[in-house]
Amino acid sequence: MALFHVRMDVAFPRDLDPKVRDETLAKEKAHSQELQRSGKWPEIWRIVGQYSNISIFAVESADELHEILWNLPLFQYMKIEIMPLTKHGSDIKLGGSAARTR
């Protein structure tokens, strides 16, 4: 299982039809909640004061994450930044026994 930290910033065009915007938001909510229930999107956090979020994805590969993101209804309106994550040797949940930590 691979973990990824993903920041998503949403920017709708000012001239987007409000009906299209509302339909896209409804589809996004349903789709993201389905991914959350599946365990592939275990964390989602709003960034205060912005139309942005920080999410954690737990997927099999970068390819799987790419497919998930590409298929989000809001994808065409997003700027996305991705950081792969790995366990930290000082994490007490892991025993914190790694000899070398950076």
Q: Please check the confidence at residue 31 and state whether its pLDDT lies above 60.
A: yes
Q: Please check the confidence at residue 2 and state whether its pLDDT lies above 60.
A: yes
Integer Cα distance of 6 and 3 in angstroms: 10
Q: What is the CATH classification number for the domain harbouring 85?
A: 3.30.70.1060
User: Would 100 be classed as within a structural domain?
Assistant: no
Q: For residue range 50-94, list pLDDT tens digits in order.
A: 999 999 999 999 999 999 999 999 999 999 999 999 998 898 988
- Sequential DSSP letters for 33-85: HHHHHHTSS-EEEEPTTSSEEEEEEEES-HHHHHHHHHTSTTGGGEEEEEEEE
User: Would 67 be classed as within a structural domain?
Assistant: yes
Integer Cα distance of 20 and 44 in angstroms: 24
Averaged confidence pLDDT in the chain: 94
Note the pTM of the prediction, 2 decimals: 0.88
User: Would 102 be classed as within a structural domain?
Assistant: no
Give the model's pLDDT for residue 55.
98
**Full domain range(s) for residue 69:** 2-94
- The gap from C-alpha 3 to its chain's centroid, in whole angstroms, comes to 10
